[in-house]
Chains A and B, each alone.
Chain A
C-alpha cells in the first residue's frame, strides 16, 4: 500500500463518519422541529423578568436603525426591557442614527453607550462587557446589529429560560434576511439552515446540548457574573461562553420558534474574513478545551469538543487529502491503487448530503424547491471547498498569532443597506 492509499482510506473514513454524524443530527433536529411545531412554545410567567437587550455596534449606520426598531417592537412588556446599543468606537454615522432613534423613542428604555478607541473597538466581547456594566436586567438578550428579530422572539426566549432553572441560556433560530442578494448569500442561507440551526436542534434533541450562536439568545445575568463576563481574547465569544456554561453544569436550550433575520455577507471577501474569524475562534476554543475530552467530569461538553476535533482536525485533513489526491491524480503525479474505492461511494456521499440538506429545507417555508436541490449540489463542489481554505487560513493565523504573541484584532463584518 502506498501513502496515497492510506490517505484516501483515511479521507473516506473521516468524511463518511462526519456525514453519518451530520445525518444523525439532521434526523434528530427534524424530529425536534416537528415536535416543536406541534406544541405551544409559550410558557406563561407570573412575572416577566427585566431584560437588557444588548447590541454591540461598530460602524453599523446602514443597518442599526432597522435593528433597533425591530427590537423596540417586541411583544415583551415594554416596561420590562431595555435596549442597550454599544456604539463601539464607530467612525461612521452610527452615533447620529442612534441619537435620532433615542429622540424618536424617548418614551422607551433605549440606552446608547458610545465608546472611544481607548475603551472600545476591541471586539464584540469587550463591547458586551461594556454593555453588561450598565445593564440592569436580570436577563441579558444579545442581538447583532444587523438583526431583525420577529416580535415574538424575546418573549419566547425569556419564557423558556425562566421556566427551567437548569437552563443558563436559551437560543433562537436565525435566518438569512438577504438570501436573494447573491449566489453566496443563497449558499449561506442553506448552510445556516442545514448546518447551524439543524445541527443545533439535533444536538439538543439527542444530548441536550447547544452552542450559543452569537445572536438571538438570552442568558441569565447570574451566569454572566459567575463566569466573569465575556472573554475578550476569544474571537468566537459565543462558542467560548457555551463551553464555560456547560462546564458549570448548566444547559443551553434551542427554541426554534424564536426567529431573527440577519444580514449575511454578500461578497466573497467579506464572507471569507468573517468565517476566518469564526474559525480562529473555534480553533481557540478547541485548543483551550481539548483537555476536557479526557476529563471524566467534563460532562456533555466533551461531545462538542469531540465534534470540533472531528471537524477541525479529521474532516479538514480528510478534505485536504481527498482534494489533493484528486488533483495530483488528474495531473498524473499519483494514483490510488487501493481496490474497492469505487466512484459509486462518492456518488452515494453526494446523494446523502443533498438529501439531508433538502430535509432541513423542507422544514421551512419557501425554501424547498428543485432550484434549492441544484444549489445544494453546486454548494458541495464550490462553497464547501471554500471552507477548507477558510480553516487553513484560520489555523495559519492562529499559529502565527501564538508565535508572535500579537494582540487579536477583531474583524468587523461589513454591512450594507438591504
Chain B
C-alpha cells in the first residue's frame, strides 16, 4: 500500500466505491497507481488497458488504435429475412460497418429456405458486410478435434456452395485454453471470441498458444455502451433478434463514442476449411486460388423442389405425428377405463349391498323361526 504524501496528485477522473469517492489514479513521484481496482468492473479493466497503452506510448511511438467490430450474432437460416433486411437497412443508413455471425448448418443445406437465407447473405456480402461462422454448439460431454473440424467443414460447405464465404470464425473464449478447440480453429486466421460458460472437454492448455498459431484474435468487448478500449481488437455483440429500436439506440451510442469501427474486409483473412482455401486481402477475394466476385446476383428457385428429408427427419416427423395419435389414444383409453372402472365399482357395491341385505333377511328369518 503506497502512502500518499503532500506532493501526490489525483489523475484521470473519479471512481465511486459504495458512497466514497476516489481518484481513478494517484501520482506520487514516478509512480502512478490506480486508487481502486477490481477486475469485476469491465470499465476499470478498459481504463487499465488504456492507461497501460498510454504508459507505453513514449517508448513505442503513438499507440495503435485497434479496430472495433460490431457483430450481429446468432444469425440463423430460419430468421425472418424481412426483419433482417430492416436491421441491415438501419446499419447501412447509419454507415456503420458490421459483421453477421451465422450459425452452422450440417444438413438440409439444399432446402429452398437455406437458399433464400444465403441469397440475403450474398446481398449483404456484396455490400461489404463481413460474414463469420459460429463454431458448432457442443452438446455432448466429450468431442474430438477431428469431429469438430469435420462439422465446421460441413457448415462452411453449406454456405460456400451458395457463394457465401465466411471470412473468420466465432468461438467461445474458452476454446483457446483447450487443445481440441485450438485444433478446430487452426484453419482460420481471424478468430472472434465471445464470453460463455461452455467449456470444451479435453486436454487443457497451460499456456496461451493462440497467438503463436498466428491467429488474429478479436476479443469480446468489455462493455456494450459508453467506455471502451482501443488497445486491442474487440467485438461488440448484438443479437440478431434485438429489437429495432434498441439497435437504433445502440448505433447512436456507438457513433457518439470514440470507437473506431472497422470493416472485416479491411483486414487480411485466410480460411482453410474442408475443400476451401479462401483468401481475402486488399479487397480481393480468392477461393481455391481463383478470383471470386462478390457481386449480388439473384438466385433462381426450383418451384417443384422435392424435399429429401432423410431417414432421421422422416422418422422424427413420423414419431411426432404418432405422439399426437398416442396422446389421443391414451386420453380415449383412459376415458374408457374410467367408465369401466365406475361400472365395476357400482356392480361390486351392489353385490356387497345385496349380500348384506340377504344376510339381514336370513338373520330375520332365523329370529322369526326361533320365536
A37 to B326, CA, bound (A): 32
Asked if A182 is at the interface (CB within 8 A of a chain B CB), the reply is no
**Closest chain B residue to A365, Cβ basis:** B348
Stretch of B17-25, B213-221, B316-324 that contacts chain A: B316-324
Asked if A344 is at the interface (CB within 8 A of a chain B CB), the reply is yes
Q: Chain A interface secondary structure, helix, strand, loop or mixed?
A: helix
**Closest chain A residue to B355, Cβ basis:** A365
Asked if A340 is at the interface (CB within 8 A of a chain B CB), the reply is yes
Asked if A296 is at the interface (CB within 8 A of a chain B CB), the reply is no
Tell me whether B319 and A30 are in contact (CB under 8 A).
Answer: no
Tell me whether B343 and A34 are in contact (CB under 8 A).
Answer: yes
Tell me whether A352 and B316 are in contact (CB under 8 A).
Answer: no
A358 to B347, CA, bound (A): 16
Asked if A399 is at the interface (CB within 8 A of a chain B CB), the reply is no
A180 to B327, CA, bound (A): 36
A38 to B350, CA, bound (A): 12
**Closest chain A residue to B319, Cβ basis:** A340
Asked if B260 is at the interface (CB within 8 A of a chain A CB), the reply is no
Asked if B14 is at the interface (CB within 8 A of a chain A CB), the reply is no
Tell me whether A348 and B330 are in contact (CB under 8 A).
Answer: yes
Tell me whether A362 and B311 are in contact (CB under 8 A).
Answer: no
Chain A residues within 8 Å of B347, by CB:
34, 37-38
* A-B residue pair count with CB separations less than 8 angstroms: 82
Which residues from 329 to 371 on chain A have a C-beta closer than 8 Å to any C-beta of chain B? 332, 335, 337-342, 344-345, 348, 351-352, 355-356, 358-359, 362-365, 368
Chain B residues within 8 Å of A33, by CB:
344
A344 to B333, CA, bound (A): 16
Tell me whether B345 and A345 are in contact (CB under 8 A).
Answer: no
Which residues from 85 to 119 on chain A have a C-beta closer than 8 Å to any C-beta of chain B? none
Which residues from 201 to 245 on chain A have a C-beta closer than 8 Å to any C-beta of chain B? none
Contact A344:B334 (CB < 8 A) given known A5-B312, A30-B340, A358-B341: no
Tell me whether B352 and A365 are in contact (CB under 8 A).
Answer: yes
**Closest chain B residue to A9, Cβ basis:** B315
Chain B residues within 8 Å of A348, by CB:
326-327, 330
A118 to B24, CA, bound (A): 104
Asked if A270 is at the interface (CB within 8 A of a chain B CB), the reply is no
Which residues from 313 to 371 on chain B have a C-beta closer than 8 Å to any C-beta of chain A? 313, 315-320, 323, 326-327, 330, 333-334, 336-338, 340-341, 343-345, 347-348, 351-352
Tell me whether B340 and A340 are in contact (CB under 8 A).
Answer: no
A1 to B309, CA, bound (A): 13
**Closest chain A residue to B349, Cβ basis:** A365
Binary contact track B278-313/A, C-beta < 8 Å → 1, others 0: 000000000000000000000000000000000111
Tell me whether A355 and B333 are in contact (CB under 8 A).
Answer: yes
Tell me whether B337 and A358 are in contact (CB under 8 A).
Answer: yes
Asked if B140 is at the interface (CB within 8 A of a chain A CB), the reply is yes
A332: contacting residue among B141, B311, B317, CB under 8 A: B141
Asked if A193 is at the interface (CB within 8 A of a chain B CB), the reply is no
Asked if A396 is at the interface (CB within 8 A of a chain B CB), the reply is no
Tell me whether A362 and B345 are in contact (CB under 8 A).
Answer: yes
**Closest chain B residue to A340, Cβ basis:** B319
B288 to chain A, nearest CB (A): 33
Chain B residues within 8 Å of A355, by CB:
333-334, 337-338
> Which of B320, B344, B347 has the most A CB atoms < 10 Å from its CB?
B344
Tell me whether B316 and A339 are in contact (CB under 8 A).
Answer: yes
A30 to B344, CA, bound (A): 9
A359 to B333, CA, bound (A): 11
Asked if A23 is at the interface (CB within 8 A of a chain B CB), the reply is yes
Tell me whether B330 and A352 are in contact (CB under 8 A).
Answer: yes
A332 to B330, CA, bound (A): 32
**Closest chain B residue to A351, Cβ basis:** B330
Tell me whether A351 and B315 are in contact (CB under 8 A).
Answer: no
Tell me whether A359 and B340 are in contact (CB under 8 A).
Answer: yes
A38 to B312, CA, bound (A): 52
A-B contacts, 5 listed (Cβ < 8 Å): A33-B344, A34-B340, A339-B315, A339-B319, A355-B333
Can you name 14 extra interface pairs (CB under 8 A) apart from A351-B334, A368-B345? Answer: A27-B336, A30-B344, A34-B347, A335-B140, A338-B319, A339-B312, A339-B320, A340-B318, A340-B320, A340-B323, A348-B330, A352-B330, A356-B337, A359-B337
